[in-house]
């Protein structure tokens, strides 16, 4: 592009040498500072003389390569056409543009990065007026090309007159870059208020100032070129011009680097102010630029010479808008964070304070008690269980001191577990694998290794190198006699309670009452020394004395055991009872329970069969039929019956044990030979109702008293429900069910003169002081008369005689009365009759009875008659019992009685 200032001659640069010393930075960066004054005052009075115009002409940019900046834009492009002379760039006190006096470095503009924080290097940033556009942008119609043209026209009219309009853009002027077209008034953004006249004037003044600075730089360069073509002014040399140009380029480059985002101030760029207004022509735009350039020069000269001439001075230049700041993570207001933190801390502390008030004030006693419970522990002091003895005080079950050995597996190192398991297994009599498995359970702090450990063994183990081993004092139940009366005595479980027999029946007396000890313990469970403790002494259990005689019990148990094995029977029972007191002297079962190994025994051995096993008595029940017939007066022992070997009873035919012809039999003979047909004939004389009453009186269908554990009541159906055959079979002991204890009580009643005494198994108890308290006697009931009882006794004595079925029960030197029994056995598992029940029951001496012995064998395989299998057991047990109890024989002979008819 061509610069208007380039057309001036020597007068145009006369003061321009001095004006160029002001530097571009001073004119462009200080709004009203020395740079502007230098531009105004540095011009010669002849500023734009005709001589300068005729000699200068246009210059060609191509001839001056150094007039282009580093980025490819010429110095002429930086001005508004280069019309301002060199004097427009100088200040009143400007420096020389020579090499000796280099141009002054332009004053740095505001750093855009400092603008958001309010730092402006002392320059005042004018406030934005309402509706004002953002800084750095020109408003259409105000800052656009028309405004610049007006500024230039005003300057030209003052000095040059009509010539300003005749200078249009030359054809060889290089084209200027087009800046983005600014909006006109019609394109003003919505919501903004229209600008006032004062505001428009300020904006026009700012645009005019920029044009003047650009015109001044172009004028300097044009003047230099004109000086080269024509006669120069004093002080104008090539070195000075080159220095001016170099200074201009350096200032422009510095400004570009500082303002990378400002298109309107960038060198060689067309700002919105140079854009032609909407609806105008290019010629109008060119004229506007020419006018603006001329006006800028005139204004510069006039202002330099006289104050008050030309347009009013511009206000401070508004700094460009800051670049978009980088994305910064904003942490928010510190005060707000502090307030939120204080509120949170207050809330948490209030919760702590409330909890503290609750614990220390409102519920202090509750927590104090809870703390005491954690520290204090109650230990149970086991009471010593009472002993069970026989009638003479011999111990059948006794309690001794023992230890309960336990260990904490978590404290046993893995390296010593194998050795510890082996040692513990050897001493405790346990399986090594079982002990090793318990030691490997590290998830628990307690593993019980063994109970009922001998104290000597426990002490030996505690001295062994086994960590975390503990021994607790307990009591151990011992049974010195082993299996003697095992099912009768029963056993004690791991918790110290009786689980069967007398141990269970008399548990409250035997167990006593445990004591308590309240102590304070530490974390490891050890008692804290010198702390308070409460102790309640235990109350030991009472000793229970049974009516059992240990020796007789042993004999009875041995005899029935041997016979069970010989006969192949499933089980056997023996009961020995005192006739006068109904005390049970012996109650034996075979097989018997071994109390020292009760855990290994089958459950069938736990049952006391003598009191709980129910069976049909068979012929031993004929004494009740005889008692009913004699009491009713229907028969006497000498009554004769014509007895066939069979009899029809409704739809069934009943037979005797042995086939025989019809023969005459006395009732005594029928009892001695155990004739079923003769017994049915006698029962028909009595009737079912009276027979049922007699059975009930002897205790059938009711549980015998006396505290015998596990005693059963048997089965006695109501006579009204008896079937046709049952009216006959009940007479000889089929169709009713009893226990061995009930049948023994029947013979005790006959032997006692018809007085039934409730059986007893407990003789009494012994308290802690050792005082013996006998048990009350059994209840007595008169069942039959003494005469009836004596007559039945003589008939039973005949049954053991030479013509009786119980000859194997006879004892030398003693008169023995008894009765055999053989009955079909009902098997509940099969639901039908299967096998036999062989029994024998009697008493001795017959004339002065002292003992009753009953023996029963269930389902024998080698024989099935009572006289054959059970009578020998009776004899053995009765013989031993008489000798053991020192019962002398009476020495009397058996009376002569009529056995057969016709005698």
The set of catalytic residues is 619
Asked if 68 and 75 count as a contact pair (C-beta separation under 8 A), the reply is: yes
Helix (H, G, I), strand (E, B) or coil at 801: coil
Spatial CB neighbours of 494, under 8 Å, sequence gap ≥ 6 = 451
Spatial CB neighbours of 893, under 8 Å, sequence gap ≥ 6 = none
**How does DSSP assign 500-542, residue by residue?**
SHHHHHTHHHHH-B-EEEEEEB-TTSPBPTT---EEE--BPPP
Beta bridge partners of 584: 577
Asked if 589 and 855 count as a contact pair (C-beta separation under 8 A), the reply is: no
Task: State the Cα angle at 537 between 531 and 542, rounded to 5°.
Answer: 165
Of 214, 168, 209, give the one whose Cα is nearest residue 318.
209
Asked if 360 and 514 count as a contact pair (C-beta separation under 8 A), the reply is: no
How far is CA 94 from its chain centroid? 91
- Say how many Å lie between the first and final Cα of the chain, rounded: 182
Question: What token pair was written down for 856?
Answer: 């029963």
Query: In this structure, how many other beta carbons lie within 10 angstroms of the beta carbon of residue 862?
Result: 11
Burial class (CB in 10 A: 0-12, 13-18, 19+), 547: buried
Beta bridge partners of 841: 819, 854
Pairing of strands 388-389, 543-546: parallel
Q: Kindly report the length of the chain.
A: 903
Helix spans in 325-400 (H) = 334-357, 364-375
| Cis status of the peptide bond prior to 792, with omega within 30 of 0 | no
How far is CA 225 from its chain centroid? 98
Distance CA 738, CA 715 (A): 6
Distance CA 397, CA 892 (A): 42
Q: Is the sign of the CA dihedral 237, 242, 248, 251 positive or negative? A: negative
Distance CA 403, CA 391 (A): 31
Asked if 38 and 26 count as a contact pair (C-beta separation under 8 A), the reply is: yes
Distance CA 221, CA 225 (A): 6
Spatial CB neighbours of 121, under 8 Å, sequence gap ≥ 6 = 110
Of 317, 332, 358, 268, give the one whose Cα is nearest residue 79.
268
Q: Is the sign of the CA dihedral 611, 613, 614, 615 positive or negative? A: negative
Query: In this structure, how many other beta carbons lie within 10 angstroms of the beta carbon of residue 111?
Result: 13
- Strand blocks (E) in 49-121: none
Helix (H, G, I), strand (E, B) or coil at 470: strand
Burial class (CB in 10 A: 0-12, 13-18, 19+), 831: exposed
How far is CA 861 from its chain centroid? 63
Beta bridge partners of 82: none
Beta bridge partners of 737: 715
**How does DSSP assign 67-78, residue by residue?**
GB-TTS-BHHHH
């Amino acid at each position: 592009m061509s610069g208007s200032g380039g057309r001036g001659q020597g007068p145009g640069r006369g003061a321009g040498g001095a004006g160029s010393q002001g530097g571009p930075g001073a004119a462009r960066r200080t709004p009203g500072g020395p740079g502007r004054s230098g531009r105004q005052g540095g011009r010669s009075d002849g500023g734009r003389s005709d001589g300068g115009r005729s000699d200068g002409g246009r210059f060609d940019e191509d001839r001056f390569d150094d007039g282009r900046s580093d980025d490819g834009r010429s110095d002429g492009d930086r001005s508004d056409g280069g019309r301002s002379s060199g004097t427009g760039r100088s200040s009143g006190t400007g420096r020389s543009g020579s090499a000796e006096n280099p141009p002054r470095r332009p004053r740095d503009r505001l750093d855009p990065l400092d603008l958001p924080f309010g730092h402006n290097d002392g320059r005042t940033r004018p406030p934005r007026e309402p509706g004002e556009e953002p800084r750095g942008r020109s408003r259409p119609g105000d800052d656009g090309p028309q405004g610049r043209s007006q500024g230039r026209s005003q300057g030209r009219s003052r000095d040059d007159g009509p010539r300003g309009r005749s200078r249009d853009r030359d054809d060889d002027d290089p084209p200027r870059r087009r800046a983005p077209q600014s909006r006109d008034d019609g394109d003003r953004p919505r919501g903004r208020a229209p600008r006032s006249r004062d505001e428009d004037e300020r904006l026009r003044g700012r645009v005019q100032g920029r044009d003047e600075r650009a015109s001044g730089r172009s004028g300097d360069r044009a003047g230099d070129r004109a000086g080269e073509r024509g006669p120069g002014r004093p002080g104008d040399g090539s070195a000075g011009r080159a220095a001016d140009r170099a200074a201009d380029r350096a200032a422009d480059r510095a400004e570009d680097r500082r303002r990378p985002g400002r298109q309107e101030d960038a060198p060689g760029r067309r700002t919105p102010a140079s854009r032609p207004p909407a609806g105008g022509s290019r010629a109008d735009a060119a004229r506007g630029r020419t006018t603006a350039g001329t006006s800028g020069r005139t204004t510069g000269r006039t202002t330099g010479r006289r104050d008050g001439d030309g347009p009013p001075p511009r206000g401070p230049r508004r700094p460009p808008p800051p670049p978009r700041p980088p994305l910064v993570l904003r942490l928010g207001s510190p005060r707000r964070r502090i307030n939120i933190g204080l509120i949170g801390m207050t809330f948490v502390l209030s919760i702590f304070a409330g909890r503290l008030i609750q614990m220390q004030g409102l519920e202090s006693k509750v927590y104090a008690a809870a703390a005491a419970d954690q520290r204090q522990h109650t230990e149970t002091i086991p009471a010593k269980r009472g002993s069970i003895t026989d009638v003479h005080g011999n111990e059948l079950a006794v309690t001794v001191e023992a230890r309960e050995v336990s260990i904490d597996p978590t404290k046993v190192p893995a390296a010593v577990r194998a050795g510890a398991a082996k040692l513990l297994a050897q001493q405790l009599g346990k399986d090594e694998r079982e002990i090793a498995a318990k030691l490997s359970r590290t998830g628990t702090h307690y593993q019980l290794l063994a109970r009922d450990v001998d104290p000597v063994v426990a002490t030996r183990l505690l001295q062994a190198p086994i960590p975390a081993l503990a021994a607790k004092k307990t009591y151990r139940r011992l049974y010195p006699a082993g299996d003697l009366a095992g099912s009768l005595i029963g056993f004690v479980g791991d918790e110290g309670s009786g689980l069967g027999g007398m141990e269970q029946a008399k548990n409250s007396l035997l167990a006593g009452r445990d004591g308590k000890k309240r102590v304070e313990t530490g974390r490891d469970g050890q008692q804290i020394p010198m702390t308070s403790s409460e102790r309640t002494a235990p109350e030991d259990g009472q000793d229970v004395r049974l009516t059992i005689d240990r020796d007789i019990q042993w004999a009875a148990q041995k005899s029935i055991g041997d016979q069970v094995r010989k006969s192949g029977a499933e089980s056997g029972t023996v009961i020995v009872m005192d006739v006068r007191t109904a005390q049970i002297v012996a109650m034996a079962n075979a097989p018997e329970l071994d109390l020292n190994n009760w855990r290994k025994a089958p459950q069938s051995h736990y049952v006391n069969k003598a009191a709980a096993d129910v069976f049909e008595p068979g012929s031993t029940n004929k004494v009740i039929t005889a008692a009913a017939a004699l009491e009713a007066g229907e028969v006497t022992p000498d009554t004769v019956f014509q007895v066939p070997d069979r009899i029809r009873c409704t739809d069934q035919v009943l037979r005797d044990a042995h086939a025989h012809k019809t023969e005459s039999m006395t009732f005594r003979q029928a009892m001695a030979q155990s004739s079923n047909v003769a017994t049915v004939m006698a029962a028909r004389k009595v009737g079912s109702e009276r027979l049922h009453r007699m059975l009930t009186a002897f205790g059938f269908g009711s549980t015998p008293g006396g505290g015998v554990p596990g005693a059963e009541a048997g089965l006695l159906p109501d006579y009204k429900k008896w079937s046709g055959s049952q009216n006959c079979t009940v007479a000889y002991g089929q169709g009713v069910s009893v226990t061995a204890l009930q049948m023994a009580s029947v013979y005790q009643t006959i032997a006692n003169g018809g007085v039934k005494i409730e059986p007893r198994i407990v003789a009494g108890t012994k308290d802690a002081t050792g005082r013996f308290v006998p048990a009350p006697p059994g209840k007595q009931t008169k069942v039959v008369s003494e005469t009836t009882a004596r007559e039945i006794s003589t008939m039973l004595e005949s049954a053991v005689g030479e013509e009786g079925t119980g000859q194997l029960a006879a004892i030398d030197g003693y008169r023995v009365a008894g009765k055999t029994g053989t009955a079909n056995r009902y098997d509940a598992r099969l639901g039908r009759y299967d096998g036999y029940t062989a029994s024998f029951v009697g008493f001795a001496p017959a004339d002065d009875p002292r003992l009753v012995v009953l023996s029963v064998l269930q389902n024998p395989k080698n024989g099935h008659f009572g006289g054959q299998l059970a009578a020998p057991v009776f004899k053995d047990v009765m013989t031993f019992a008489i000798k053991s109890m020192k019962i002398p024989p009476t020495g009397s002979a058996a009376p002569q009685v009529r056995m057969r008819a016709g005698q």
